[in-house]
Structure 1
Amino acid sequence: MQRIQPANFLFSARALRDFGDGFVAVLLPIYLLALGFTPLQVGVIATASLLGSALLTIAVGFLGAQHDHRQLLLAAASLMIATGVAFAVVHDYALLLVIAFAGTINPSAGSVSVFVPLEHAVLTREVTDAERTRMFARYSLVGALAAATGALAAATPDLLTAVGVDRLAGIKAMFILYALLGLLGGFLYTRIPQHRPAPDPGTAPALGPSRHIVFKLAALFSLDAFAGGFVVQSLLALWLFERFDLSLSEAGVFFFWAGVLSTFSFPVAAWLSRHIGLINTMVFTHIPSSIALMLAALAPTLPVVLILLLIRAALSQMDVPTRSSYVMAVVTEAERAAAASFTSVPRSLAAAASPALAGVLFAASFRAWPLLVCGALKIVYDLLLLTQFRHLKPPEER
């Protein structure tokens, strides 16, 4: 019997997790508003969740070089289970803040979580340099397609009202489903073989010869993430709800198709990177997506807004597999878990600040400004990345 590769278990676990993140990102603002909280408080919850994710990822960066990655993934899956149950039963705002901070709720429906650096390190061990970007494209494709399907599933509470289930009760049931997905993901992680750390791990730093490269990348990625935090999926949903009075079902359909477009951009990114390089692919697909977002902020009608946002969705995530592949390529094998963590942590920390700022802008009725700020800062990031790293090639491009 042919042995199932560890990558397949990780792909399946990511699909389950991102399916949950997909519907939670859409339902989170609706749920919090239904509990009586303000848009500013919604933004603060999003900030707390991203900040907590950053701190957890810091811990993983230090632990990843010294502990079995499978055990750390199982611990993260357990936290996901606890988070889903807690959100379903807790109504107090202060407690929800604590749960968002300490748990795995993801308002961005993307790869901003404690799971990601661990999965990156495991996956990179499974492939050659030539296959690495293609593997990360498949990994991202699976997650994005699952997240898109999850966004579509966000309409479930509205559908349940037709059979007499209260809408709030339906949303709570979706958080319980989120917890069950964490349980299934944990089972998949048990199928990953153990990977023992190197002898005497305490004698070697988590980052060694690639420290300067990682820190410079982390600084640039933090700018990108700070910009993206102004338009995390929960806040983009809130903007559409408040500006155009979109229904939950309509929002779910939109985010589904946005996710589908993002999904099929990943293999295109892998193909494009083989012809123009990883850095060029990251930059020259990202800039047009930021322009589309800024135009959407100023567009007068819903159809034009949705078209521009779909164009953005088709381009904005093409840097995800290429970015992951690039980081893994320019560091040594021993540094990979730490590099993935230390480039994710500043992203999470920076992204944690901007949702609260976006909430302030929403509360002050400057609803277009979060989208404009996001687009402008992302363009600055792309230009800096191009100037700083265009000459540092991964092995397959030398």
Structure 2
Amino acid sequence: MSRDLYLIFTAKGLRTFVFGLVSVLLPLYLAALGYPVLYVTLGVFLIVLGNVTLNLFLASYEARMGRRGFLVLYSLLMASSGAALELSRGLYVIAPALFLSGMSTTGTETGPFQSVEVSVVPRLARRPGRALGAYNLLGYAASSLGALSLSLLSHSLAGNIIEVARVTFLLYIAAAASLALVYRALRDVEAPAGQAARAGLSGLLSNRDVAVLSALFSVDAFGGGLVSQSLLSLWFHVRYGASAAELGIVFGAANAITAASLMAAPLIAERIGNLRTMVFTHVFSNVFLALIPFGGSLSLSAALLLARQGLSQMDVPTRQAFMAEIFDEEERVRAFAMTNTFRSLAGLPGPLLVGAMLSSGLLAMPLLTSGLVKLGYDGAIYLIYKDRAK
């Protein structure tokens, strides 16, 4: 493994560990502060909106500022956001802190850190597909440990969510500061000399594959925006009264299962192709997703969630490998940033819609709607690309 690849993997593990912890904790923390469900989901909305903004900034100025510069800058923003969350419980401080945090609300990422990293990993590895599989495996494994750490923290602090949050935000600040140091040490992550970005964002959008994939991924992301890890944590809390300790175990197990599934994804893709792996596994996972609200108990609904997680993210490394084949090195960061931006934009309504649905007592609607929308995406991407890719 090259030195830069090792550093990127280290950064991925650090970042997703604290994201895994915070994404489950945040809805419970905001609720413990006395904010209603709509305000809690507004907090999730601000995180997604912030990721959209940071990705657009990256796509627009990557050639000027450099990839390493962006990674260091965003790490410092992440640390500043953690400090703000640690020091204040006021909405006027929490809101901008969440907006600038760059954090993930789910086990996977669509933020600016991943946009850079997944564009660089294929160049640093001999087998890009397997390297991306390992990259995502590490992310979900670390996210699983983060969620399980929430359960341990909750037990050790007698279930006091406010105290758990204070410790968590300190860990968040420390991880962000460490990220800045790791990214500062990167050497070979910039675009090769003479391959600076050749077109602006408008030129990139004129690329047919960028436009089509952005549209398709947006449909998937709209469905996913209804069931991010933070929103699922809130759903289980509202539907079953699940505690932080219980949710830490549930999502720790869910991310561990996801991590295990990612080991198989590149191997399956080598046999049947990236597209088929993406679609076939996704179809079954979305059926399980739509069934979760009909479980009737915390244990059965959690079991359906675990079944879903065993398949739902196998499309992540295969989708990244698929895009790495399509786009040239000089286009790749901006292509990832642009498609991730559209994914984030499409996910923006999700938290607000879920807040409205839960406030209206429509508890099954978020998961059922998400499952049906994502099934539509599966059929569409397969029909459009089946003649160009396996």
What are the within-5 Å matches in structure 2 for residues 118-267 of structure 1? 118-128=116-126, 131-162=127-158, 167-195=161-189, 197=191, 198-199=193-194, 201=196, 204-205=199-200, 211-267=207-263
Structure 1 SS opposite 2:306: helix
Structure 2 SS opposite 1:154: helix
Instruction: Give the match for residue 24 of structure 2.
Output: 26
Instruction: Give the match for residue 46 of structure 1.
Output: 44
CA distance in 1, matches of 2:16, 2:24: 13
Task: Return 206-215 or 152-161, whichever deviates more.
Answer: 206-215
After superposition, the C-alpha distances for 1:265-305 in whole angstroms (9 at most, x for unaligned) are 11211011011110110000001111001111112222221
Q: Determine if contact 1:282/1:319 at 8 Å carries over to the other structure.
A: yes
CA distance in 1, matches of 2:233, 2:197: 45
Residues 1:335 and 2:325 are matched in the alignment: no
CA distance in 2, matches of 1:70, 1:378: 34
Instruction: Give the match for residue 97 of structure 2.
Output: 99
Could you tell me the percent identity over the aligned residues? Answer: 31
CA distance in 1, matches of 2:227, 2:385: 26
Task: Return 336-345 or 296-305, whichever deviates more.
Answer: 296-305
- Aligned match of 1:388 in 380, 384, 389? 384
CA distance in 2, matches of 1:390, 1:102: 39
Q: Determine if contact 1:152/1:252 at 8 Å carries over to the other structure.
A: yes
C-alpha change, 1:142 and 1:50, in structure 2 (3 Å) is: same
Residues 1:274 and 2:247 are matched in the alignment: no
Structure 1 residue 159, shift from structure 2 partner: 2.6
CA distance in 1, matches of 2:136, 2:254: 14
Residues matched between the structures, number: 388
Structure 1 SS opposite 2:124: coil
After superposition, the C-alpha distances for 1:224-243 in whole angstroms (9 at most, x for unaligned) are 11101111111111111121
Task: Return 192-201 or 136-145, whichever deviates more.
Answer: 192-201
- Aligned match of 2:88 in 80, 87, 90? 90
Q: Determine if contact 2:21/2:147 at 8 Å carries over to the other structure.
A: yes
- Aligned match of 2:113 in 104, 111, 115? 115
Q: Determine if contact 1:210/1:331 at 8 Å carries over to the other structure.
A: no
Structure 1 residue 65, shift from structure 2 partner: 3.5
Q: Determine if contact 1:65/1:337 at 8 Å carries over to the other structure.
A: no
Unaligned runs of 5+ in 1: none
Task: Return 143-152 or 200-209, whichever deviates more.
Answer: 200-209
- Aligned match of 1:65 in 59, 63, 66? 63
CA distance in 2, matches of 1:324, 1:235: 25
Amino acid at match of 1:192: L
CA distance in 2, matches of 1:167, 1:308: 27
Q: Determine if contact 2:204/2:210 at 8 Å carries over to the other structure.
A: no
Residues 1:345 and 2:341 are matched in the alignment: yes
- Aligned match of 1:361 in 341, 357, 361? 357
Unaligned runs of 5+ in 2: none
Amino acid at match of 1:111: E
Structure 1 residue 108, shift from structure 2 partner: 1.9
C-alpha change, 1:19 and 1:301, in structure 2 (3 Å) is: same
Structure 1 residue 105, shift from structure 2 partner: 3.1
After superposition, the C-alpha distances for 1:308-367 in whole angstroms (9 at most, x for unaligned) are 110001000001101111111111121111111111000111112111100110111111
Instruction: Give the match for residue 9 of structure 1.
Output: 7
What's the Cα RMSD here? 1.9
CA distance in 1, matches of 2:2, 2:188: 15
Structure 1 residue 199, shift from structure 2 partner: 4.6
Q: Determine if contact 1:156/1:170 at 8 Å carries over to the other structure.
A: no
TM-score (norm 1): 0.93
Structure 1 residue 392, shift from structure 2 partner: 2.1
CA distance in 2, matches of 1:91, 1:299: 35
Structure 1 residue 183, shift from structure 2 partner: 1.1
C-alpha change, 1:327 and 1:157, in structure 2 (3 Å) is: same
Structure 1 residue 138, shift from structure 2 partner: 0.3
Task: Return 149-158 or 350-359, whichever deviates more.
Answer: 149-158
Structure 1 residue 69, shift from structure 2 partner: 1.3
Structure 1 residue 17, shift from structure 2 partner: 0.2
Structure 1 residue 85, shift from structure 2 partner: 1.0
C-alpha change, 1:66 and 1:327, in structure 2 (3 Å) is: farther
CA distance in 1, matches of 2:379, 2:63: 33
CA distance in 2, matches of 1:146, 1:378: 26
Q: Determine if contact 2:2/2:124 at 8 Å carries over to the other structure.
A: no
